[in-house]
Each structure stands twice: as structure tokens, then as C-alpha cells.
Chain A
Amino acid sequence: MNFKKVLACVLAGTMVFSMGAVMTAGAASEEDNKLTVWTWDPNFNIYAINKAAEIYAQDHEGFTVEVTEIQSDDIESKITTAVNAGDLSTLPDIFLMQDNSFQKYTTFYPDVFTDLTESGIDFSQFSEAKVAYSTLEGVNYGVPFDNGAVVNCVRTDLLEQAGFTVDDFTDITWSDYMEKAKVVLEKTGLPLLTAQAGSPDMIMMMLQSCGASLFNEDGTGNIAGNEVLKQCVNNYAQMVADGTLVEVTDWDQYISSLNSSTVVSTFNGCWIMASIQAAEDQSGKWAITNMPRLDDVENASNYSNNGGSSWAICSNCQHVDLAVDFLNSTFAGSTALYDDVISKGALATWAPAGESDAYNVPVDFYGGDTVYAKIVDFATKTPSNATGAFYYDARDAVGVALSNITQTGADVDAELEAAQETLDFSMGV
């Protein structure tokens, strides 16, 4: 009797369910050809995904993407909220994620991601270091997108006033760099660098330039007694004290310092070029070179990385095959796409794109230099370093130490010790 009841319920349920399936399949052929995407920056990522959709739609009639502009940290908060609410239906089919966040989210929320290891995407065509960001325990969760190779953007006209050329800032060491910064300040009255106060971006770039990081290979924190880190922090603090590095309150002021000729140079991930190029009246006055390397550190180089991101397919995606095929035939298979988005400074990490002619085009904004080929070259020379799920906790702790050191003159060793304790506290749950 009971068994029959259960069986009846199951059968009825199945019928309702399959009816629903038939109805949705019939009514939503348009829906079947549409993917929802979350990403940020209209001039960069949003432009790229729309371009990719345009290219994909040439062979797949009626294909569209519905892009929502959401800042990267908001995407992350929304994912966290959705998972904790146990309802992934609010998430899009595809979202972009910062490379530095990938380990954190794949570790703590693996259920959000679709496993792409066996999806048919050829990950060997991407640079190994880049794929590593979105790989956890041998499983691929992301399709690599742009590169964050560090470029040192300098104002050649302002350097000239100080008696320098861009060559004087190429392949140099930090001690040399800091001395020249003082000359620039003296001659032009302008700082060589601006930075967002409390943000340890510059420290992180300096660390990676010698393959060092805030973590040991076994994943434990490496802040207290980290001699390379100490040198980075000291250099930064010294430049602030010299007046050659001016700290500004927020990101907007940092960007406006670049566009308003109140700073002579900046080094950052190559995506910064999109913001620099926004000041069209400064065309021809900028040049690109590599960043300074740390003195007397083993493996020190003039190359580093900051930022960059990868596409992920949400586990809630209803059209996984379509999403995989879309990414596979565009971001992992279209030189036409990368040739187009290079104009925005979106540099491919997909090897076949780097061989394209588009990378050898001279760019007038940077005095006719073939800057893209240069950046590809920088990218291949960038050392990789250990990160992990606790990247942002470590970064935050170092940021606090850095503020205390530059603004209150606190003792470097003691502050790094405190930062290590903060990180250990976060990790020791």
C-alpha cells in the first residue's frame, strides 16, 4: 500500500518534471542560444567578451551574450552570498575572476565551478604559470584570459627635463632607480611614482620580480623575517620619505595623477595602459620599459606580474556545452579575437595569438614603439611564485604593516612580525 503510494508520487512527479522540460525546451530556443556573463571594465573585459560573442555568432547564428557589468570584488561577494544561501540560480553562466582570487574560491567554494579538465580545451597552449592560477589539485577551473605583465610607463618629455631618457630607466636596479628618482624630483618638482595608500600592489610586484612571495612552498605564511619582503618595504618607505613616491587616497586619484601630468611614471600590470591612453592629449609622450630589479637578491629580474584574470563557467550553467564551445573557439581558439582586443591592452596568454602580426604594430601613443611585442617578451620572462587560498589575507596584513611603516615610521621587523601573526590567525581556524 505504502509502496504503491510512493511509486505513484514518483511517477506523477516525473511526469510533471518531464512536461516542464518539454515545455521549456520548446519555448526557449532563443534562451538556449544565450549566455549570461558577469565581468567588469567596459573598455577591457566587457569589450572583449562582446567581441568574442560577435566572432562566435558568425558560425553560430543567433548566439548572444548578456553581459552585466559588475566589479570583480562584487562578483566575489555575490558568489559568497549565493553559496551560503544555497541558491546558485542567481549566478550567471560565465563569470570572470581575478587570477589571485581563483585559489581562494576553488578551495572554499569548489561547487561553484565547472570542471574544465576534460572539456576539450587545450590548456597546453596557454602559458603554464597562467594556467596554474585557475588549477587546483590538477583540476582546471578557468579559461585564461589577459596577462598582467608589469610595464613601467614613463613620461619621456618629463624625463628629458631631468636629463634622462627611457634607456636610463631600462634594466636598472632599485638603488639606481631611487637615486634617479631624486634627480627627477629636483629637476621637475614631480614625484616619480604615485601609489594608493595602504595598497601593497607595488610590494607584491617587487616580490614576484624575484620569484618570492608571502608564502612558503608548503603554503604557510612567509612574512616575518622574509628578507626580500623587507627590502621591498624598505625601498618603498625610503621613496615615500624622499618624496619621490607620493601616496594618494584612492584609486581614482592614482589614475588622475597619471592623466594630469602630476607624476613622471608608474609601473603596474599592462592593463594600466588603457587608463593611461585615456589622456589622448599625452599621445607620443609616454614610453614603456621594464621595472627596476632588486639589488643583491637571488633570481632578481626586471619583470613581474600584477592582475590578470580567467573565465569560469558556473556549475549552475544550464548550457555547459555551449559555454565550453564558446570559450574554446574564442578565448582558446581565435587569433582574430586577440588581434582585436590587443588595442585595449588585453594581452593574450594563449600562445598562438602571440605569433600574430598585430603584436608587431607600432603604437603612436608610445612614440611609435612596438609595445605589444615588448610586453609579450616581458611576460615570458616573468618569474612565477607561490600563492594560495590565503593570498588576500596575507596581502591585507602586509598592507596594514606598510601603512604603519610609511605613515607612523613604525619598525619594519616588528610590523612584519605583527602581519605574520595576523595571517597565522586567519589561517589557524
Chain B
Amino acid sequence: MGKKKFTMEKRHNLTGWVFLSFGVILICWTSFYPMIQAFILSLQSGLGVNLKFGGFSNYARILKDPTFKGTLFNTFFYLIIQVPIMLTLALILASILNNKDLKFKGLWRTCIFLPCATSLVSYSMIFRSLFANDGLINTFLRNLGMNPVMWFANAWTARFVIILALIWRWTGYNMVFYLSGLQNIDYSVYEAARIDGANARQTLFKITIPLLKPTILLTTITSTNGTLQLFDESLNLTNGGPGKSTMTMSHYIYNTSFVQSPNFGYAAAMSIVILVMVAILAILQMKVGDER
């Protein structure tokens, strides 16, 4: 009788929790615990090891920091311009590659996905040399009889190069998500639509996008999240320059900790602010994306 107390259902539940527990412990230990520590650190002010409790003074400092506002603008500029372009491109490419009659499908897919296999630092450096004053792009422009552009000397052209690099690097990555989403849509749905006389535009807006909605939501959230934490490109491609006009928030946080006089409390406060922004944007997107 005693054994009966442990019903099948309970046992299943318990097994489930045991499996989950490892992941939960790992996440708590490697992710949540540092977050709490970062929050505690953000309440301390001072330089180097001379830290003392300062309450919310670091958060008040953020409001008075013109550099932080500048980097906030840059980051949101990248986000607003780059993410929609990239996701649209990814969707278009995915639809093309999903075509049943396309030849060398594997080759095209590999080609488009390949940029994702390059390291962030190396592709940033390659883009830097491509757009250098005497780089490949300017050589092309000269040969076409146009004036070379000093890409990194002007804030807007430098931002343009960063956005271009981001699109090159990440479009393939997002395309793979769409491609797998598309393959879950039964081909017969399209056939039925075609029999009913739907054109390409209609199939895209009436079938593909609605059925892909969960995937689109996922890629939007991960891209937003990734862009807000953008660091490698800012550091390696432009080094934030000219001046600080292409610097991202994460790059500024890094500089505050490691390049300028080390102010870890302030750096932690800024990263907490980014965390809050990411969370708010993700909640908004989920509200917009979820129509149930």
C-alpha cells in the first residue's frame, strides 16, 4: 500500500523536475546569480578598488551623461534601420530558396549561411579594410570615375558601413529560421491557393507571413536583443569613431570598465539599464505578435 502513494503521475512529474533541475541550477548559477551581483555592484560608486556604497547615484549619473545618450541613439538607430531590412531580406531569400524547382539548393543555402560561420572580429576587420581610404570599395569607385568616400571620417557613412556589415553577417542566420518555418507549411496549402487564383503577393501576405508568425516573432526578439548588445562591430570595425559617433552602449560599458579609469559600478548600472530595455522591448513585441 505504501508504494501506491507514489502514483505514476507523481513519478513522471518528479522525473521531469529532476531533468529540469540541472538546467535550472546552471541558469541560476551562471546567469541569475551574476545578474544579482551586477545589481549590487551597480549600487556602489568609486574608481578601481576604492568602491563604496552609493545608493542609486550611478543611475542618476546615467541621466546626466551625454556620452550614454549618444551611444543610446546609435544603438537604437542600428536597431530601427538594420533589423527590419535584415528580416525582410531573410524572408525574401527564404521564400526563394524554398522554391521546389530551384536547382543547387544546397549550394545557395550554404552560400547565404556562410557569413555566420565567420568570427565577429575577423569579419569586422575585413569590412574595415574593404572600406578603408585605399580599400577595395574606394578602388572600385575610383575605377568607375567616382570620388572615393572617406567612409570612417563621417558619422553617417561610418554608421552605414556598420549596418551593411550587420546585414551581411546576420541575414543568413535569420534566413535559416524562416526556411525551417517554411518547410513546416504544407505545400498543398500553396497549391490550393494557386488553384483559387491567388498571386505571389497574396500567398506571401495571406499564407506565408501568418503561418510564419511565431518564427518572425522569435527572430525579431533575438535580433533586437542582439542589436542592443552590439559590441564587436563597434569596437573592431570603427572603434566607435569618428569621435564617439558610432559607439554602441556595450562598447561604452566596456570602455568605462577597461579603457578609461575603471568605474565598474557605473558600468554595471548601465548594463542593468540595457537589461531593462531588452525586457521591455521583448514584452512589447510579444504583446504585438500574440493575437490569441
Chain A residues in the interface with B (C-beta under 8 A): 73, 76-77, 80, 83-84, 104, 107-109, 111, 197-198, 247-250, 253, 389-390, 392-393, 396, 399-401, 403-404, 407-408, 421-422, 425-427, 429
In the docked arrangement, what's the CA distance between A149 and B241, Å? 28
Instruction: Give A78's nearest chain B residue, CB to CB.
Output: B258
A225 to chain B, nearest CB (A): 20
Chain B 62-82, CB-CB to A under 8 Å as 1, else 0, gives: 001111000000000000000
Q: Which of A389, A400, A422 has the most CB of B within 10 A?
A: A400
Known contacts being A400-B244, A429-B266, is A248 close to B261, with CB within 8 Å?
Answer: no
Known contacts being A84-B264, A108-B49, A429-B46, is A248 close to B133, with CB within 8 Å?
Answer: yes
Chain B residues within 8 Å of A407, by CB = 153-154, 242
Chain B residues within 8 Å of A426, by CB = 260-261, 263
B37 to chain A, nearest CB (A): 11
Q: Which of A77, A392, A404, A407 has the most CB of B within 10 A?
A: A407
Q: Please tell me if the beta carbons of A396 and B258 are within 8 angstroms of each other in the complex.
A: no
In the docked arrangement, what's the CA distance between A108 and B259, Å? 13
Known contacts being A249-B128, A253-B133, A392-B259, is A198 close to B239, with CB within 8 Å?
Answer: yes
In the docked arrangement, what's the CA distance between A198 and B153, Å? 9
Chain A residues within 8 Å of B65, by CB = 425
B71 to chain A, nearest CB (A): 12
B45 at the interface (CB under 8 A from A): yes
Chain B 232-263, CB-CB to A under 8 Å as 1, else 0, gives: 00000001011110000000000101111111
Ranked 10 nearest A-B pairs via Cβ: A108-B48, A400-B243, A403-B242, A403-B243, A198-B241, A77-B258, A393-B260, A249-B132, A407-B153, A249-B152
Can you pick out 17 interface pairs between chain A and chain B where the beta carbons lie within 8 Å of each other?
A: A76-B258, A80-B257, A80-B258, A80-B262, A83-B48, A84-B262, A108-B261, A109-B49, A249-B132, A396-B259, A400-B244, A401-B243, A403-B241, A403-B243, A407-B153, A426-B260, A429-B45
Q: Please tell me if the beta carbons of B241 and A389 are within 8 angstroms of each other in the complex.
A: no
In the docked arrangement, what's the CA distance between A389 and B132, Å? 34
Of the candidates A247, A253, A389, A392, which one forms a contact with B153 in the assembled complex, judged by CB atoms under 8 Å apart?
A: A247
Q: Please tell me if the beta carbons of A390 and B133 are within 8 angstroms of each other in the complex.
A: no
Instruction: Give B242's nearest chain A residue, CB to CB.
Output: A403
Q: Which of B48, B257, B258 has the most CB of A within 10 A?
A: B48
A73 to chain B, nearest CB (A): 8
Chain A residues within 8 Å of B155, by CB = 408
Chain B residues within 8 Å of A400, by CB = 243-244
B50 at the interface (CB under 8 A from A): yes
In the docked arrangement, what's the CA distance between A236 and B133, Å? 20
B47 at the interface (CB under 8 A from A): yes
Chain A residues within 8 Å of B264, by CB = 84
Q: Please tell me if the beta carbons of A197 and B260 are within 8 angstroms of each other in the complex.
A: no
In the docked arrangement, what's the CA distance between A23 and B197, Å? 86
Chain B residues within 8 Å of A404, by CB = 242-243
Q: Please tell me if the beta carbons of A104 and B261 are within 8 angstroms of each other in the complex.
A: yes
In the docked arrangement, what's the CA distance between A80 and B64, Å? 26
Of the candidates A108, A253, A421, which one forms a contact with B262 in the assembled complex, judged by CB atoms under 8 Å apart?
A: A108
Known contacts being A393-B260, A426-B261, is A111 close to B49, with CB within 8 Å?
Answer: yes
A295 to chain B, nearest CB (A): 28
In the docked arrangement, what's the CA distance between A416 and B67, Å? 15
Chain B 210-248, CB-CB to A under 8 Å as 1, else 0, gives: 000000000000000000000000000001011110000
In the docked arrangement, what's the CA distance between A247 and B152, Å? 10
In the docked arrangement, what's the CA distance between A121 and B214, Å? 69
B139 to chain A, nearest CB (A): 14
Q: A198-B239, A253-B134, A429-B263 are in contact. List 4 more A-B contacts (CB 8 A).
A: A80-B262, A249-B133, A250-B239, A429-B45
